[in-house]
Structure 1
């Protein structure tokens, strides 16, 4: 890990003890770090170059985790909504072509509004 990141073992231990990194433990108590943890060390080092304190770095990493979680949750919710819309369209049996077109337009306009609102939140 130290060779891959260019950070000393002592520094990695220090980051782990501060809670900036989390390692998996083997049965023999060795620490194993994921690719995500390697990227996190690189991120920490970038923040250090910008003169952020370790406490500020920890706050930034926590914000990033929350944003990642929020985005994943948002993607899941959007997928669920999309599936529900498709289910509704396939289960609704509208004989009148005009009404069917009206339902599709309503759903499309609502979807566009939802997408625009989501894009505003992400920017």
Structure 2
């Protein structure tokens, strides 16, 4: 279990950000007898998800909904899942358009610069592909 300063440092976030996510209900710390908020491993996973979704420009309310759906232990709401898959498809379409816009710029890079970008994107692309295969495979 981590206190707010510890988890903020571990995740490279500010205490204020952790407070904000807690206030929004994205994080659910446990209170100690001395009223300290303690964050567990589940909070780390949620913070990683939040950061991932933020890189996809997903609004915090949609992130909250996605996390709620992932953590749901009750019956699956197919409508919410369909909406979430639709959001993923829209993000993928947006990324395709971004790539089209970036293509002329990327053509101007030298081989070393291209390799650096490919390495960065490859890791994220592989992770995304593995996640999609797990979800839909």
Unpaired runs of 5+ residues, structure 2, are: 1-6, 77-135
1:30, 1:20 → 2: CA distance?
Answer: 18
1:70, 1:7 → 2: CA distance?
Answer: 34
Q: CA RMSD in A?
A: 2.0
Partner residue of 1:65? 71
Question: 2:14 pairs with 8, 15, 21, which one?
Answer: 8
Question: 2:26 pairs with 20, 24, 35, which one?
Answer: 20
Pair member with larger Rg: 1
Unpaired runs of 5+ residues, structure 1, are: 72-121
* Segments of 4+ moved more than 2 angstroms: 68-71
Q: Which has the higher contact order (CA 8 A, sep 6+)?
A: 2
Q: TM-score, normalised by structure 1?
A: 0.54
Q: How many residues align?
A: 72
1:63, 1:51 → 2: CA distance?
Answer: 19
Partner residue of 2:56? 50
For residues 66-90 of structure 1, give each alpha carbon's deviation from its aligned partner in whole angstroms, at most 9, with x where no partner exists.
2x6669xxxxxxxxxxxxxxxxxxx
